[in-house]
Structure 1
Amino acid sequence: MHTIGLLVFPNFQALGLAVSAVFEYANLMHPEKTYHFRLVSEHGGPVMTSQTFSVNTERLTDSTYDTLIVGGDNDCKLPSPELLNYLRESPKHIRRIAAICTGAFILAEAGLLDGKRATTHWLHSNAFRKFYPKVQLDEDKIFVTDGQIWTSAGLTAGIDLALAIVEKDLGLDVARQIARKLVIHQRRGGGQSQFSTLLELDAKSDRVQMVLSYVKENLKADLSVESLAEVANLSPRQFSRVFTEETGLPPAKAVERLRVESARLMMETGHHQIEIIARETGFGDRERMRQAFLRAYGQSPQSIQRISAGSARPSM
């Protein structure tokens, strides 16, 4: 039996509790109950969330843990010196230590991330780098593992981290079944970016949003300005002007970014050959895709594929 402790603090964000559902379904779907989930705090008892309701917790030191997950909050507040000392010594008796969102600040303050790779919510990355220069921060990743230390991006990324823990313990099939049960249509790998091109483009009109949806669903098609102008029922000149005004990018650049993001997702969630990815995402050939990746990420598709493969199978 693996005891999972989720460590919370006053004014923590309740969404972080969602990780518990992953371990709950792991127990329901696996022949033998594997996880004992405990919600814990430094002193135990009721702990208030940032949404002004409280949850009951057990005292952290009343149990031993296979995995301890440190939750985050909106303010990046640090815990007491006593709790930091406990965390500093925890690698000696806890197999796996994780942090969700700004929980990485707490692990870093305890010195557990010095010289290690880690991630946190992108919004707090500059502050993190300033306070903890010894940490190799990769703020673009959904989650990162380095030995026995696991860290994730913003709160929903904690679900991805929990699924990766289950995959490590019980196998890929069980993790996929849980993701389907939770209606998570795309289980994200650790190497996946925190950022979404569709969110960043942020089209204001239904007309341009419709074009973006069309592009995403038809990456292999002819996505020239003329073709997209027909979808929008505008002249090519009108379409280019409206699209650029709303998204901040010319149509060709936006199409390339969506193709790159889709190609990267295929690399992170499967084992497809580069040629197949290039064809399925509309690049046509690997050289065109390579040039697009260099413009977007400064790395070749092969480099990102190797990194993703390493992140998807964390070692302990």
Structure 2
Amino acid sequence: MPGSPRRVAIVGYADAELLDIACPADVFDAANRLGARPPYELQLASVDGHGIRTGSGLTLQPHLRLDQVAGDLDTLVVAGGWGSTAAAADERVLAHVRRLARTSRRVASVCTGAEVLAAAGLLNGRRATTHWRYAARLARDYPSVTVDPVPLYVRHGNVYTAAGVTSGLDLTLSLVEADHGPSLAREAARALVTYLQRPGNQAQVSLFLTGPPPEHREVRDLTAYIAEHLDADLGTPALAARAGISTRQLTRLFDAHLGTTPGRYVRTIRTEHAARLLSGTDLPLATIARRCGFGSTETLRQAFLDHFDTPPSAYRRVHVRQAYG
């Protein structure tokens, strides 16, 4: 009936990620405190109703067992964490997730909670994301799922998947915005001292931040050179000549140590750097394209569409608004 609370059930299990539960719960709670009408009614559930020992060692007490969650739900959220593989192999968990999904307006997962949704058959034929570290495993184990490791979150129909940890904030803020409008979502974000909200198609992680430099000397030297000379000729023949090896050997080395080809690596690095310039400067697109080694603004635009699923002008508007709005 009108005004009835929006019922939200969060599914937890042993070794779930604490933030995968807390981030959605706190966003919905913040929306309630700021006047969401109808409000959200939160329930944390586990198979046996016993305390959930999270991956950090802290224990959460569920409100009820999964078999006690009945009736229509507004939102079903499945947390991720170290225990997701065991949860995805537990037919009791899967049966309840399937049952609840049938009567839920929307279904969501955070991080490796996508593995549980996939095991339950809820991601078949859908595009989905998960934490970038586990995307290849999800794609391998569930070939019927189109796994995209780049975005912070993905919506396909009424099913939402988030990359993990704090991206659960971004996803849940987008749900609040859909339910109650941008003003309330913005106030919830401010209350939580977070962005409103990073767009779902923002990359999970920049290649500049993915970890330490490659151990292989030639690859390490080349990646450093690429980062410092984005406007230079960074074609595979030029890079191979610089390293004093064949193009075939260069391609093998990049595949072994970076998991990609030289051309794709260069294009991604250029696009990521262009994204930084777009959000942090007021340089014209043509200048950014030139500094980052793109032959034209159209080439830059196509790279952004491929990498972020949005044109550079829209990317700049969103990120400048979030930083200063």
Query: Do the structures match in fold with TM over 0.5?
Result: yes
Alignment of 1:249 with 2:226, yes or no, is: yes
TM-score by length of 1: 0.71
C-alpha distance in 2 between matches for 1:177 and 1:68: 23
- Partner of 2:229, secondary structure, is helix
Of residues 269, 287, 296 in structure 2, which corresponds to 1:288? 296
Alignment of 1:70 with 2:78, yes or no, is: yes
1:67-146 equivalences in 2 (<5 Å): 67-75=75-83, 76-77=85-86, 78-146=88-156
Of residues 152, 157, 170 in structure 1, which corresponds to 2:162? 152
Worse-superposed segment, 282-291 or 132-141: 282-291
Alignment of 1:11 with 2:15, yes or no, is: yes
C-alpha distance in 2 between matches for 1:250 and 1:293: 20
Q: Deviations over 1:168-202 (max 9, x none)?
A: 11111211221122111462111111122542486
Alignment of 1:183 with 2:179, yes or no, is: no
Corresponding residue number in structure 1 for 2:285: 278
Q: Tell me the CA shift for residue 41 of structure 1.
A: 0.9
Corresponding residue number in structure 2 for 1:299: 306
Q: Tell me the CA shift for residue 130 of structure 1.
A: 1.1
- C-alpha change, 1:79 and 1:36, in structure 2 (3 Å) is farther
- C-alpha change, 1:45 and 1:250, in structure 2 (3 Å) is closer
Of residues 196, 207, 212 in structure 1, which corresponds to 2:206? 196
C-alpha distance in 2 between matches for 1:172 and 1:49: 32
Deviating beyond 3 angstroms after TM superposition, the runs of 4 or more aligned structure 1 residues are 200-203, 243-248, 254-259, 262-266, 281-287, 296-301
Worse-superposed segment, 105-114 or 60-69: 60-69
Corresponding residue number in structure 2 for 1:22: 27
C-alpha distance in 2 between matches for 1:258 and 1:106: 31
- C-alpha change, 1:198 and 1:126, in structure 2 (3 Å) is closer
Give the fraction of aligned pairs with identical amino acids, expressed as a percent.
Answer: 27
Of residues 261, 268, 290 in structure 1, which corresponds to 2:275? 261
Q: Deviations over 1:156-178 (max 9, x none)?
A: 11111111110111111211221
Q: Tell me the matched-pair count.
A: 259
Corresponding residue number in structure 2 for 1:48: 53
- Partner of 1:4, secondary structure, is strand
Q: Are the equivalent residues in 2 in contact too, given 1:100–1:154 (CA < 8 A)?
A: yes
Q: Tell me the CA shift for residue 21 of structure 1.
A: 1.1
Q: Deviations over 1:193-252 (max 9, x none)?
A: 11225424869xxxxxxxxxxxxxxxxxxxxxxxxxxxxxxxxxxxxxxx9689453423
Gaps of 5+ in 1: 204-242, 267-274
Gaps of 5+ in 2: 214-219, 232-268, 319-325
TM-score by length of 2: 0.69
Q: Are the equivalent residues in 2 in contact too, given 1:8–1:40 (CA < 8 A)?
A: yes
Give the counterpart letter for 2:296 in structure 1. R
Alignment of 1:166 with 2:170, yes or no, is: no
Q: Are the equivalent residues in 2 in contact too, given 1:201–1:247 (CA < 8 A)?
A: no
Q: Tell me the CA shift for residue 127 of structure 1.
A: 1.1
- C-alpha change, 1:245 and 1:29, in structure 2 (3 Å) is same
Q: Deviations over 1:5-28 (max 9, x none)?
A: 111110111122222110111011
Q: Tell me the CA shift for residue 69 of structure 1.
A: 0.3
- C-alpha change, 1:277 and 1:136, in structure 2 (3 Å) is farther
Give the RMSD, CA atoms, in angstroms.
Answer: 3.4
Q: Are the equivalent residues in 2 in contact too, given 1:45–1:56 (CA < 8 A)?
A: yes
Give the counterpart letter for 1:39 in structure 2. L
C-alpha distance in 2 between matches for 1:103 and 1:6: 11
Give the counterpart letter for 1:290 in structure 2. E
Q: Deviations over 1:69-115 (max 9, x none)?
A: 00011253225212212222333211111110000011101111101
